[in-house]
Amino acid sequence: MLNKYSSILASLTILALSGCSDSDSRASASRGPDIGGTIAIESRTRIDLDTADDILAGTAVSEVVSLPDGAVAAGYLSSSGGSYSTGTADDFAYYRDEQDQYAASLSAGDSIVVQLFGAPDRFLPGISPPRLRVEVELSDGRTEQQTVNGFGSVILNAVASGADPEPHNITLYAESGAPFRYVIALVNDGNVSAANFRYSEPAFRPGEAVVVMEEPGAGRASPASVFASGVAARSLGKGVWHVRQPSASSGVTTAAAATSGAQATLDWIRDLRTRPGVRHAEPNYLYYAQQTPPPEAGEDLYTRQWNLPLIQLPLAWQLAPRMGEGVGVAVMDTGLFTATPGTAENWHSDLNANVRLVPGEFMDFVSGELDYDQNSDAGPDQNPADPGDGTPRSSNFHGTHVAGIIAATDNDDGIIGVAPSVDLYPIRVLGRNGEGSLADLLDAINWASGQPGIDVINLSLGGLGDSTELKKALDGARAEGKLVVAAAGNQGSGEPTYPAAYPNVVGVGAVDRSGRRASYSNTGVSVDAVAPGGDYSSAGGSDLIVSTWGLDDGGDFREAWAGLQGTSMAAPHVSALYALMKSGAEDAGREFGPEAFFTYLVDGQLTATPPNRSEYGYGLIDAVKAVSAAREGNVPGVILAAQPTVLQFTRALTQQTVKLVRYSEDGLPVTLTDDDVSATQSWVQAALTPGSGGDSLTVTADPSGLADGQTRRAEVQVVYDD
């Protein structure tokens, strides 16, 4: 293993010297200005001008609308006219509008994404779903077309065969079926994961609800009087109850599913809300582990942990030499690998020294059909072991992977975590298939909020249900001095994902090893910061986060290490960073808590400057910058850090400048010469920038001999004495 504590480890990783042309070089006058954005689906507020309202008014137009590069537009189409009832006093009239036409300049690799949206099925009984045909044509007659049936999506590739943009005509035909709205997006370089405009409705357990009772007192109804005979009710604490109907199914459904079971559950919950003594009732939403397994995931070691130098480790360990010692991190997930899952011991060797259990307390909160551990009775118990399921590529051991990113020990074997001396509290809330219920999650959060040893709660899980009670529980954890960190989700969508989107939660998106947003990572309000999450689609499949894992083939439990990608992998970097900051602040004689963390985050003191807020939040975490802020500049010795930590080169961009930032308590100098700067590959040249006084480096990359699609990587090292 490398020496991780040497004061000479100031490193700059150079990634993605690509044989492809610079993306900026694809712009031309023919493509128009570089603008885009979401245009609301309302009359006269978007690009499609022939709306239903205009048709009714007799002002509809039929023209080819030009779309700029990266545009997102919306429109309306229908193969027929008619009306339907919305269940209110007013009927909704819709009108025939069979065709829309657009024009855009596209290059090879660009895509056109069209998504359809319609009225609920109950409003249009007997009318078949729409059939849309999308046709793309070049002036020379080359065409591509696809058809989508129902309210789905269609993706078409640009017809152009070269890097230079060519004019494309795009025609949308409503061939049959119900009326619909649509969104059309132009996506550069095939990054279609960023063009998802559909709200994915949250999953919940049928026949179950989470109910909040009024405070007990004179004249207040008791739970026994509110819930009908035969209804099973479990207290989750603080007046919150998990309620099950006697005939509840063990299956899973979504609110969008047109099944009697789903509708019956929602009707039952509406009835519960009207009963005396009930303050609130909502579905028992399901949450899922937020990892995205790559096609292959295998063992790896510390030398493959590119995620550490990307966020300025191991440099930051010099600012927080206790490396999180005494700070408690609760990982609410699938539990933790152990060679003997029937016992709460024999944990993974990379984690064992840091595992903390609370004697006599439940730390496995999974209940009902989701629980399948080796205890005789399904339900909460004191053993947070991951029971496995014998499936080599399942969501099991997801919690072990998350825990390793945070807390893998420096034991000269395997990997090392971001905060390798923290107190690790494994809490099992996800069971079968990596799923967990809202009721169990609330139970766990309420318990952890009252534990003095826990300082931060990591939630590498998500669902899209905006739960009143979940928000209340998380606000309560914050009030008890706990920082809550959650994965932003892997749908490539800007739709809010919970719990990451709640104000008192740090939502974390993912970047790849070059610091770019991972193709799957969500955007928007769910993202407060980004951290390494990996992206298998880049860097030839090697861009994964390597961490602790487990194997359970044939019932034989063996520890392992594996590479995964996902915002589940990004979130624990932030949880561990908080532990480093807290221990570093305590070393400097300061108190540090969630309020200070959020203040520093918003002020830009924890992150690199982001390219944009939507995709990156306040930016990629910088551990040196963050721990220095937590210590208020009280830095032992001298730390020399590079900003940025990653450079990306292309044929058109072969030289860049890197700032060298000195962190020291007393302004101690660092004297550098060109002999102190070296590169690990001959195609990279690095030297002190003339006239900078040693405060910056100029790095030059030579792309000669690099074929299209190839990638080279190298590292620049600066050796110094403190």
Q: Cα dihedral angle (430, 435, 436, 438), rounded to 10 degrees?
A: 150
Residue 568 annotated as catalytic: yes
Instruction: Give the count of alpha carbons within 13 A of 433, CB side only.
Output: 8
- Within 13 Å of residue 462, how many CA atoms lie on the same side as its CB? 34
Catalytic residue among 168, 242, 348, 398: 398
Residue 647 CA: distances (Å) to CA of 14, 182, 206, 235, 519: 5, 39, 50, 53, 19
17 touches 652 (CB < 8 A): no
The token pair at 126 is: 């007997």
> Which of 110, 300, 333, 543 does the annotation list as catalytic?
333
CA 535 to chain centre: 12
CA distance 456 to 646: 29
Query: What is the rounded CA–CA span in Å between residue 64 and residue 171?
Result: 9
Residues 695, 128: Cα–Cα separation, whole Å = 67
Measured CA to CA, the distance from residue 131 to residue 471 in angstroms comes to 40
Q: Which residues pair with 517 in a beta bridge?
A: 511
Q: Which residues pair with 644 in a beta bridge?
A: none
Q: Are the beta carbons of 473 and 446 closer than 8 angstroms? A: yes
Label residue 510 exposed, middle or buried (CB < 10 Å: 0-12, 13-18, 19+). Answer: buried
Q: Which of 568, 583, 628, 696 is catalytic?
A: 568
Question: Are the CB atoms for 43 and 51 separated by under 8 Å?
Answer: yes
The DSSP annotation for 588-633 comes to TT----HHHHHHHHHTTSSBPPPS-HHHHTT-BB-HHHHHHHHTTT
Q: Which of 178, 199, 35 lies closest to 115, judged by CA?
A: 199
Query: Can you tell me the distance from the alpha carbon of 217 to that of 211, in angstroms, rounded to the nearest whole number?
Result: 18
Q: Identify whether the C-beta of residue 73 lies closer than 8 Å to the C-beta of residue 183.
A: yes
CA distance 207 to 462: 21
Helix (H, G, I), strand (E, B) or coil at 259: coil
Catalytic residue numbers?
333, 398, 568
